[in-house]
Amino acid sequence: MKVNTLKIPGLLLFVFVTWVVTFPPLHSQSSHKSIEKLWEHLDVASKYHTGLSIYDPENNKPVFTYRDDNFFTPGSNVKILTMYAALSYLGETIPAAYYHIHGDTIVVWGGGDPGTFYPDIKKESSFVDFLRATDKHIVFSDHHFRTDRFGSGWAWDDHRFSYQPERNAFPIYGNRLWIERYQDSIVITPSYFDLVFKAIKGSVPNATRNEWGTEYVFVYNPRLARSSATIPLSLYENDVRFIWQEATGKQITFKDYPIVKNASFIAESNRDTLLHRMMQESDNFIGEQLLLASSLAAIDSMDEATIIKKTLAGPLASITDSILWIDGSGLSRYNLMTPRAATIVLNKILNEKGLDYVKAIFPAGGKSGTLKWSFGGEKDKPYIFAKTGSMKSTYCLSGYLLTKSGKVLIFSWMNNHFRSQPSEVREAMEKVFVYLRDHY
């Protein structure tokens, strides 16, 4: 019996064979060689400091690594560590405050919850309602706040930008001034800062403040009917007191009282709602406050250095690299992380919370958060769920990759010291991710 053979034009056959030989499927026996050839073809390692760790959790083995034990400035990839700390120490609902009643006085210690009156999260507050309803004399104490309003290694001149709000024990309104304008009518919240607020018409919109918070300036284009902005507040003790007095309608005084062991607490924000906001929008304020809230829950004080040390020695003891974890947000230039360490934490999150939880919290490529405009999938179906980390000359991405064969890969790709545009870095990264998606 004669069998018909498929005839392939010579040029097409050459292209097909070249592709198979150069980049064979990753699940073949030549898996490591194939990804190595693709890596050599991209030649990113000669252009800037880069490190990559790709891990297969199902088979408990690395798929590909390149300098995954090197240290990098991770930017907001630090929020992955903060997320795990919050999952380790905080319950589903975060205490907004702790309190103790003594006679006609109620002493209140702030819980560090970043959700109180945060306009982008919710408008009501059980903590504020509690204070409004009490007939006791209200005393605030931040004796348990054992750190500074700015983190170690933060840029000193970023105090005026909304991505670097101050930290404190009694956060409210996201520790920012919120500006809403319609025509020439302007409303600011909290209104306590009205005396030091100035609105100016101009062609280039801007919102800023001076170093000491004695002047807040909002420049708006009058040709636009509406505009809005936020400015980080400069928070000293009296500022905090007056803001909370405005919010509650009650007189508040500050005294330095140590927190008592039998203090009651007032439940406020949902932990996972805050984690979702932190990861999707890379919200630095929430990252910092969640780490401080975790610290209070674990060691009875707000001290990021101590809670970081405790977490690395306990829940994250499987990280063997001597990483430098400095703050909750990744704003600090002192943070140093390895791609290998990031994949270890991501694997723990996946094992403990499951893939559905991961997909609900992390930004989805081409769909949501900081990945809305990058790493999109086919037919509007995301295959990357990951946390970005961006700073000047820094772009990192760590998370989960879903392959067409149904596997889940964990990866961390860190890039430092590049002079090109981040879009060029992402373009090279996407070629590797697409290849993994289609061939592993």
**Residue 123 has what pLDDT?**
79
pLDDT tops 50 at residue 207 = yes
Helix (H, G, I), strand (E, B) or coil at 82: helix
**Residue 348 has what pLDDT?**
98
Mean pLDDT of the 209-238 span: 95
- Please state at what angle helix 284-299 crosses helix 78-89, rounded to 10 degrees: 40
With bands split at pLDDT 50, 70 and 90, how would you rate the model's confidence at 217?
very high
| Domain 26-74+337-439 classification at class level | alpha beta
pLDDT digits (tens, 9 = 90+) for 273-304: 999 999 999 999 999 999 999 999 999 999 99
Tell me where in the chain the CATH 3.40.710.10 domain(s) lie: 26-74+337-439
**Residue 122 has what pLDDT?**
75
Q: How far is CA 80 from CA 45, 245, 303, 310, in A?
A: 25, 35, 19, 16
Q: What is the mean pLDDT of the chain?
A: 92
Specify the pTM. 0.92
164-168, long-range: CB within 8 Å, 24+ apart, which pairs?
A: 164/232, 164/284, 164/331, 165/232, 165/233, 165/284, 165/285, 166/232, 166/233, 166/234, 166/235, 167/288, 167/289, 167/292, 168/110, 168/142, 168/235, 168/240
pLDDT digits (tens, 9 = 90+) for 28-75: 334 557 889 999 999 999 999 999 999 999 999 999 999 999 999 999
pLDDT tops 70 at residue 22 = no
pLDDT digits (tens, 9 = 90+) for 319-372: 999 999 999 999 999 999 999 999 999 999 999 999 999 999 999 999 999 999
**Residue 340 has what pLDDT?**
98
Task: Give the contacts of 413 (CB within 8 A, at least 6 positions apart).
Answer: 50, 51, 52, 53, 339, 396, 397, 398, 429, 432
With bands split at pLDDT 50, 70 and 90, how would you rate the model's confidence at 2?
very low
pLDDT digits (tens, 9 = 90+) for 365-401: 999 999 999 999 999 999 999 999 999 999 999 999 9
**Residue 31 has what pLDDT?**
54
Exposed/middle/buried for 296, CB within 10 Å: 0-12, 13-18, 19+? buried
pLDDT digits (tens, 9 = 90+) for 129-149: 999 999 999 999 999 999 999
pLDDT digits (tens, 9 = 90+) for 95-134: 999 999 999 999 999 999 999 999 988 779 999 999 999 9
